[in-house]
Amino acid sequence: MDSATFTTTTRPSSSSSSSSYVLNFSNPTQKPRISSLSPASPRKSSIRIIHNRPISSCSAVTKAPLESTHPAPLQKLRRLASEFQALGDPADRLKHLLRRAALLPHLHPSKRLLSNRVMGCTAQVWLDLHLDGDGRVRVSADSDSDLTRGFLWCLLWVLDGASPEEVLELGTGDLSGLGVVGNSRVNTWHNVLVAIHKRTRAALAQREGRPRLHAFPSLVIAAQGIVAKGTYAEAQARYLFPDEAKVEELVNVLKEKKIGVVAHFYMDPEVQGVLTAAQKQWPHIHISDSLVMADSAVKMAEAGCEFIAVLGVDFMSENVRAILDQAGFEKVGVYRMSNERIGCSLAEAAANPAYMNYLKSASSSLPSLHVIYINTSLETKAHAHELVPTITCTSSNVVQTILQAFAQIPDLNIWYGPDSYMGANIAELFQQMAGMTDEEIAEIHPSHNRESIKSVLPRLHYYQDGACIVHDLFGHEVVSKIHELYSDAFLTAHFEVPGEMFSLAMEAKRRGMGVVGSTQNILDFIKLKVREALDRNVDENLQFILGTESGMVTSIVAAVRGLLGSVDLPSARANVKVEIVFPVSSDSVSRTSSNSLQSPSSIEGGDAFKLSVIPGVTSGEGCSIHGGCASCPYMKMNSLSSLLKVCNHLPDEMHLLSSYTAGRFNSQTPQGKSVADVGCEPILHMRHFQASRKLSEKLVNQILQNNPR
């Protein structure tokens, strides 16, 4: 599976924005008139400044003390832009920036604290901010890089002495079109400004006597150990010590009966702890997203496994069964972890008659392609494919799948479903792309440009009545709290989150501070940022907002601990701490098993590296309508006791596990075809796309002939 399938530019400029604005001045003191060039995109991300007459150099203004006058930041910003834009040679701009750096006073050592560091900057940046007696913002900053100090001088010259309202009104987009010196350090501008905004809001709240918001629960990972902050995190940390007897019991039965285990990232935390420890003794255990689960099962069958235990929801075990059959492993048994149905809100949305009615509308708009999320049943895929030619997608490859289909088939209509939030987020992303330059769009997909993107917008449709119950609750209250308390942190978000969370994460992504995508994309992003911090070899506190199901933290912590404990690191390595924040409501706390007796709040030193798991809560608890959902109740039906029960009863000669079997589909489609055969075809179309980056000739013919079978 692709670890990342689309990117948006991390080098904002006046030509790279999702929308563009022009500031028109008839004279230096006139308030600017702002006119949007892209009304479809709500977020301002760049400015172009048009001057009708020369403006005096900002360097002359600095001779007067800032306390004497308080010109508006936007006015000072245009003076700054004029000064640098008057220097046509980039080398001259660089020299000018370095001269500005020499004017920046160094921070006192008492202010160069780790707590004052700004995340996301190439160099080390320290920031100190307070409100003076008149309620104006007083900000100072420093860096270990002269180039960055030049950026800081410019930013502080614009903002120091301004009112809190003026500071908060200045957006990152207002900085994008300055063209001070290339784009290599542009994220420094943006991330420092975001940090200034956060500290300004906090100082203003303190001055007004408003109570501080409670922080989200979190886990802090360091080489010395792991610390849980908040009751929710403590409840999770109780599973840091997997039961060694259960690990041994599981390993013995897996080896004896040649059982492979494929498990989703979101499964029960106790199971993750035991499986993570068991992996060291039995290689046929794999924890991943839904698509890779089936691929791993095939590899296990090829290695001689006679049974596959699937820890996930029912559509995952269906897919594993079908893919094994397609690969010629019909005799390999596939087992679920419950004798009850393990559902999925997205799969259920697609099984609703309303979804088939949606596709019937699609079948009358030719040519059409149905792009269906993999989180649906095989039966749904089969029935859909008979109505409209269908290809499966994942959150990693959905954007590239859609762009390639539009590029490959003229006048194509695409119908995406069933996840309404993901559909809306895809549409929003394409709206943003319509405001990019052709070069930037080509970086995302080489066959597209601004005109082609604009032309496909009316032909992209998405279902509007389906959502994941976990990601559905990353709504307004959670987003508001993230914006207030964590705007300067790294933000990760699954592609299934609601639009507000998506927009926040995309804004962070443009600053190099976020990722939007699949669970694997999130994991890869966190690992990348930790590696970068270790390479810099300076003390750092990295903070990540986990915008997906809390069970994902197990794999994240395992990966981070592996990086922090790497033998390749220098002996005099810096102290890097990684905080994983769970954006859930304070009442999203569950009571854990009484069997977990160890103190969770702090695990010291080398003991942490003997541990095997960081969990989520059990039994589907941890959800709150007031601000987030911690875990999927369906995924938590995969218990350790069920896994051991299934394994111990194999082979099932007494037919005691018939209700646990991932059975084959013997039913027929409305056209009398095998559900298993027809339902697998959209998956095979996706596999062809992943291998070749093009739609298969068979699928193209089905679309053009309007005959899926």
Show which residues are catalytic: 121
Length of the chain, in residues: 709
CA 149 – CA 156 distance, rounded (Å): 10
CA angle 217, 271, 246 (to 5 degrees): 125
Q: Looking at 279-352, list the stretches that DSSP marks H as alpha helix, in order from N- to C-terminal side.
A: 290-302, 314-326, 345-351
C-alpha 259, offset from chain centre: 33
Give the DSSP per-residue string, 421-462. HHHHHHHHHHHHHTTS-HHHHHHH-TT--HHHHHHHGGGEEE
- What burial class does residue 128 get, using C-beta atoms within 10 Å of its C-beta: 0-12 exposed, 13-18 middle, 19+ buried? middle
> What is the DSSP-derived secondary structure letter of residue 285?
E
For 338-400, give the secondary structure using H, E and C: CCCCCCCHHHHHHHCHHHHHHHHHHHCCCCEEEEEECCCCHHHHHHHHHHCCEEEECCCCHHH
CA 249 – CA 2 distance, rounded (Å): 35
CA angle 598, 604, 605 (to 5 degrees): 140
What sign does the CA torsion over 64, 66, 67, 73 have? positive
Nearest in space to 421 (alpha carbons), one of 501, 356, 350, 483:
501
Structure tokens at 43: 């977020």
451 Cβ neighbours under 8 A, 6+ residues apart: none
CA 83 – CA 531 distance, rounded (Å): 38
405 Cβ neighbours under 8 A, 6+ residues apart: 369, 371, 391, 412, 414, 695
Long-range CB pairs of 421-424 (<8 Å, 24+ gap) are 421/467, 421/468, 421/471, 421/472, 421/496, 421/497, 421/498, 421/499, 421/502, 422/373, 422/395, 422/398, 422/462, 422/495, 422/496, 423/462, 423/463, 423/464, 424/462, 424/499, 424/502
CB 618, CB 270: distance < 8 Å:
yes
CA 133 – CA 445 distance, rounded (Å): 53
CA 706 – CA 231 distance, rounded (Å): 56
305 Cβ neighbours under 8 A, 6+ residues apart: 258, 259, 260, 284, 332
Cα dihedral 454→417→325→684 (10° resolution):
-10
CA 437 – CA 418 distance, rounded (Å): 31
Nearest in space to 378 (alpha carbons), one of 359, 350, 340, 400:
350
Residue 443 C-beta-side C-alpha neighbours within 13 Å: 12
- How large is the angle between the packed helices 314-326 and 290-302, nearest 10 degrees? 40
CB 230, CB 236: distance < 8 Å:
no
299 Cβ neighbours under 8 A, 6+ residues apart: none
What sign does the CA torsion over 238, 244, 249, 252 have? positive
Cβ atoms < 10 Å from Cβ of 411: 10
**Which backbone phi and psi does 620 adopt, to 5 degrees?**
75, 15
Cα dihedral 662→271→621→230 (10° resolution):
-160
